[in-house]
Homo-oligomer: A and B are copies of this chain.
């Protein structure tokens, strides 16, 4: 139902969603119209959810990445709600996952600088109580892949 051309198309579109259909068509050894139909199908079937502009973290003045590992003793419904509300109200918090293991949550932050972490820290603890919170500043981004591998489909 999904063939190798579809996979290659998905890989290409993850790299550059603005590639014109005639160029994509050429790379896939297809006509532009066939390419257009495949793309429409991949969207309709939910493989491609949307397309987005990738901004420069430096230009946008958010060069610093910080990970927060969080533990909590409170696991009530009320606590959860306040936690959800807190993290969704702070746009510098990019990701939040609930984890297995020693920590309850991991948060990923994008900040203008390391000092700014204090602002976020205060904004969080004002809204919810946490039993432990350790910040880990990224000193170097060794790898940052925005393209998911397409070989598991």
Q: Point out residues on A near B: beta carbons under 8 Å.
A: 10, 13-18, 45-57, 59-62, 65, 67, 83-84, 87-88, 91-103, 105-106, 110, 112, 134-153
Contact = CB atoms under 8 A, between A and B. Distances in A.
A99 B136 contact: yes
A38 B101 CA distance: 47
9 contacts: A17-B51, A57-B148, A60-B148, A62-B152, A93-B145, A95-B145, A97-B139, A105-B142, A110-B149
B47 A17 contact: no
A88 B18 CA distance: 25
Given A144-B95, A153-B61, A100 B53 contact: no
A56 to B, nearest CB: 5
Given A62-B148, A97-B139, A105-B142, 10 more contacts: A14-B52, A14-B55, A17-B17, A45-B59, A51-B51, A60-B152, A91-B149, A93-B143, A96-B142, A100-B136
